[in-house]
Amino acid sequence: MTIRKFEEQLNIYIFSILSFFLIFSILFISISSVSAINVDNSTNNSLYTAISNSNETVFELNGTYKENTSITLNRNITIRGSGSEKAIIELHDHNNFFKIPGFHLTLENLIFKNMSNGKNGLVYSYANNGKIEITNCSFTDFSSKSFRVVSTSKFNIVLIKDSVFESDSTSSFGAIQMSGGILEINNSNFTNCFIFGSPIATINNCIFDDYKYGDNIDIAAAAIHLSASQNMNTISNSTFINNDIAIMMTNSHVLLDNCSFNYNSLAFRTRISTSDINITNSIFKNNDIVFHLNNTATLKAIGSTFINNNVTFNIITGSCDVSYSRFVNNTNILENDSEGSFIGDYNWWGSNVLPESVANLVSKYFIVGFVNSSEFIFGENLTFNYLLRLNDSSTFDKDLLPEFFGDYYDSNGNTGSVLFSDSDYSFSPLMDHDNYNLIFFMDNEIINFEHVFVADYSELEGLVDSIRNVIHLLESSDYSAESWNNLSESIRSARSMIGNDTADTQAKLDAQILALQNAFGSLTFNYAVLEDSVGDAINNTTGLDKSLYTADSWNLLQKALTDAQSMLNSRNATNYDNIDSLVVALDYAVRKLAMKNGVVLSLITPTINKGQVTNIAVTLKSTDGKLLGNQKVQITINGKTLTGSTNAKGVANFYVKNLKVGKFAVNAKYSGDGNYKSGVKSGSQVVKGIADLVINKVKRSGNSYKITVKNSGSVKSGITKLKLWFKKGKKTYSKIVKVKSIGVGKYLTVSVKFFKYSTHKKLVKYVQVNYNKAIKESNYKNDLKKFKV
């Protein structure tokens, strides 16, 4: 078939698909507006009876249904499970359970079980323009190879998604068999069952596993067998695992993208007439045979991966062109007869060396490298560059390569991964080991870089010469015998290392340089005659109590002690005057050491009534009468500690509220500072109780009033009076009665015989207890109450 004729036929199919989907959309809108029938499952053949005795198009199932009578569609039908779990349809003695003469059948959320080992099939469409749509369904226990879940004999459209086809026994069954038409499958699993026919197939995100063809080599030979499908079929994002044959092509064409084939006896087989296979971005691992090409089949693979397969390409007749792909640990890459052809340029063969079976057939192949691009210098970074190129250094398109990584690690503990197609990768480790080693792995290609240390003595030689030139000018008697002998021995050791070349690591060389520098720097004066005088000064000041002395004089002493001890520890005097000056300074500090002054605290705590705020005043003076301002003092009262600062007059005021009636201990404290000792003072705060009378309730009875008074204060009230009055014009009319003592929180009701009610009915009255303030209260405002009724 020419490309032009192929494109014309493909356009016809595309137009048919678009027309069909337009019609289907109209039908779907119609169906969605029709109410569904809930099918009872109390008797056998409930579904058959419901469809036969009704003109409805949507049937909802819930539970398990036993069916043994075929259903021939005379209209578009939708059958779906309506419960939270899939409805179950058990098929008994059926023969093509659904027969479709050009109508549409939709199955949703169902489980189909074959209870009698099947006969011909489940769904059979025998006229053009039929459509079968299956969503979220499961098909199990169909163990006969003659059985088909879906079969068509004319141009039909079959759409399947989110479904499972599974044989639970050792026998397989046919999932789908089509004569032409369009097949679309998404997100579905097929276990030990097969797809056969000549549709225009589009399969995406599916799993095909454990298919065993047994003796059905012609039709059911593979999990997918496309026969006489002249249009381009597409299989993408799918996985084929542990099948006898995963895909068989008979005079058909297929585009395979991003698929995975694992542990299959045979991944691809072509037979009878031309088959075109185009493969991109797919993975083939642990298969016995990957491709078996026969009858002028054409295979083109790009960007794919082949790992641990026994035979990768078995070419009887036909041609194979594979490029930009990865081959690792395949036992036999190529087995072909003289009539087959193989093109294998632009591939990675697992290492920089071609496998023997393709060495005479491949002229261009990828090689990798990991090389240093800078000189080894201890303590600096050494850059390694990853190199990917063709063996003849010609150009290539790295974007076509599959994605996989190589790894490296070095003796410094650095590790990393390198993308095979990355042409710009570099790695710069710090050379902090004397003998450096790096190993790089890209599949079976191993690159080892090793650097052996060679000592450079120039720095050590220069240091020895410089020190010898200096010590010729010195007198050994001016220095301690120990430090002078250490320097002499270090010079001899350095000259021995240089002469005998014994530095086999940079660490040893650096250690010798450091030892010589330290020995020269450690030359010290002879301190023996000076240690006694400095030690006596330190001993005379040991054991003094810091808290008894002023901060300034104590700090002066501590500095003198520190400086003297530092000299004895460091031995870094440049002349004898340094030590003498420390002795003088220490003697002066001891003579100037001054004792701290004491303090006196006084405490004023005024007696208050409950509810008042007390002002506790603390005065701080030195023992010589000086008022001490800006000093922090504390008081503790009623379980709380308050902190304040004294003013210029040495007084700190503390305002305390919410104290109950009683006597509270007050403790004042001054913690001292660098010049004054600490001090304390104790006292007490007295809080007296006080009455608080309140008009609680007024109640009239005829011309009399009963008035209730409550004592809300903190002490029993004394005897007082209550006044009840009203004003009429300029004249005031009043009655006064005696009020007895009232306990804390208690009530007292007094009776007042008042004026005739009609004379003041509409006037405002006033009642006030303790109106003459005969007793003290914490609050006089609530003594008065006015009322009318």
pLDDT tens-digit readout, 96-141: 889 999 999 999 999 998 755 555 678 999 999 999 999 999 998 7
The answer to the question of residue 143 being in a domain is: no
- Would residue 397 count as lying in a domain? yes
The answer to whether residue 778 scores a pLDDT higher than 90 is no
Contact 232, 253 (CB under 8 A): yes
Cα separation of 287 and 306, whole Å? 9
The reply to whether 777 falls in a domain is: yes
- Identify whether 293 is part of a domain: no
Provide the percentage of residues in the chain whose pLDDT is more than 70. 88
Q: Are residues 437 and 376 in the same domain?
A: yes
Say if 78 falls within a structural domain: no
Binned at pLDDT 50, 70 and 90, residue 477 comes out as low
Cβ-contact 314, 292 below 8 angstroms? yes
Residue 301 tokens read as: 């693979």
- Residues belonging to the chain: 789
List pLDDT tens digits, range 325-347.
Answer: 999 999 999 987 667 789 999 99
DSSP state of 135: E
**Phi first, then psi: what are they for 546, rounded to 5°?**
-60, -35
Of 390, 417, 451, the residue that ends a domain is 451
What percent of the chain is predicted at pLDDT more than 90?
50
Alpha helices in 98-214 (DSSP H): none
Question: What's the CA gap between 641 and 628, in Å, rounded?
Answer: 21
Query: With bands split at pLDDT 50, 70 and 90, how would you rate the model's confidence at 528?
Result: low
> At residue 71, what is the residue type?
I
- The reported pLDDT for the residue numbered 31 is 41
Residue 720 has which token pair?
């007082």
Question: Do the beta carbons of residue 787 and residue 764 sit within 8 Å?
Answer: yes
CB 193 within 8 A of CB 169: no
Same domain flag for 608 and 679: yes
Q: What is the pLDDT of residue 168?
A: 63
Res 674: pLDDT = 82
Buried b / exposed e along 727-753 (16+ C-beta atoms within 10 A): eeeeeeebeeeebeebeeeeebebebe
720-728 and 731-739 as β-strands: parallel, antiparallel, unpaired? antiparallel
The answer to whether residue 275 sits within a structural domain is no
**Unique residue bearing structure tokens 């960007």:** 303
Per-residue pLDDT band for 272 (boundaries 50, 70, 90) equals: confident
CA distance 225 to 432: 62
Q: Render pLDDT for 683-713 as a digit per residue (tens, 0 to 9).
A: 999 999 899 999 999 999 999 999 999 999 8
Burial of 539 (0-12, 13-18, 19+ CB in 10 A): exposed
Mean pLDDT of 648-660: 92
Residue with tokens 């087995």: 335
Contact 163, 112 (CB under 8 A): no
Q: Which of 591, 610, 638 is the last residue of a domain?
A: 591
In a domain, 465, yes or no: yes
The CATH number covering residue 775 comes to 2.60.40.10
447 and 462 share one domain: no
Q: CB 787: neighbour CB atoms within 10 A? A: 12
DSSP assignment of 686-717 equals EEE--B-EEEEEEEEETTEEEEEEEE-SSS--
Same domain, 733 and 769: yes
Euclidean distance between CA atoms 429 and 409, whole angstroms: 10
Maximum pairwise Cα distance, the chain: 142
- Residue 93 clears pLDDT 70, i.e. is over it: no
- Do 610 and 668 have their domain in common? yes
Highest mean pLDDT among 59-63, 144-148, 757-761: 59-63
**CB under 8 Å to 548, separation ≥6 — which residues?**
595, 596
Q: Do 158 and 183 meet the contact criterion of CB atoms below 8 Å apart? A: yes
CA distance 315 to 296: 10
Residues 413-424 as b or e (16 or more Cβ within 10 Å = b): eeeeebbbbbee
492 CB burial (10 A radius; 0-12, 13-18, 19+): exposed
Q: Give SS3 for 257.
A: strand
760 touches 735 (CB < 8 A): no
Domain end point (choices 434, 451, 468): 451
pLDDT in the model for residue 29: 41
Cα–Cα dist 246/265, whole Å: 8
Residue 5's φ and ψ, nearest 5 degrees, are -65, -40
Q: Which residues pair with 787 in a beta bridge?
A: 765
The Cα–Cα gap between 564 and 560 comes to 6
Please give the Cα distance from 269 to 249 (Å, whole number). Answer: 6
* Domain count within the chain: 5
Residues 442, 474 within the same domain:
no
Cβ pair 629, 646 in contact under 8 A: yes
Pair (716, 758) in one structural domain: yes
Higher-confidence residue of 429 and 304: namely 304
Question: What letter does residue 484 receive in the DSSP assignment?
Answer: H
Looking up residue 375, the CATH number of its domain turns out to be 2.60.40.1930
Rounded CA Rg of the chain:
54
Taking a C-beta distance cutoff of 8 angstroms, is the pair 165, 188 a contact?
Answer: yes
Whether residues 546 and 628 share a domain: the answer is no
| Cα-based angle 258, 262, 267 (whole degrees, multiple of 5) | 80
Quote the tokens at residue 194: 């097969």
Distances (CA, A) of 367 to 372, 391, 404, 423: 17, 6, 15, 12
0.85 exceeded by the pTM?
A: no
Tell whether 730 is covered by a domain: yes
pLDDT of the residue at 15: 52
Same domain, 678 and 618: yes
Q: Give tens-digit pLDDT for 384-424.
A: 999 999 999 999 999 999 999 999 999 888 999 999 999 88
Amino acid at 417: S
Distance of CA 356 to the CA centre of its chain: 49
Q: Where are the beta strands (DSSP E) in 329-476?
A: 332-336, 340-343, 366-372, 384-390, 405-410, 415-419, 426-427, 436-442, 445-451
Do 604 and 641 belong to one domain?
A: yes
Instruction: Assess whether 429 and 464 both reside in one domain.
Output: no
d(C-alpha 614, C-alpha 656), whole Å: 5
Model confidence at 590, in pLDDT bands (50, 70, 90)?
A: confident
- Res 120: pLDDT: 65
Provide the Cα torsion 390, 396, 401, 405; round to 10°.
Answer: 50
| 3-state class (DSSP) for residue 554 | helix
Is residue 381 located within the same domain as residue 443? yes
- Res. 546: pLDDT tops 60: yes
Residue span of the structural domain in which 410 resides: 366-451
What are φ and ψ of residue 768, in 5° steps?
-145, 125
pLDDT band at 217 (very low <50, low <70, confident <90, very high): low
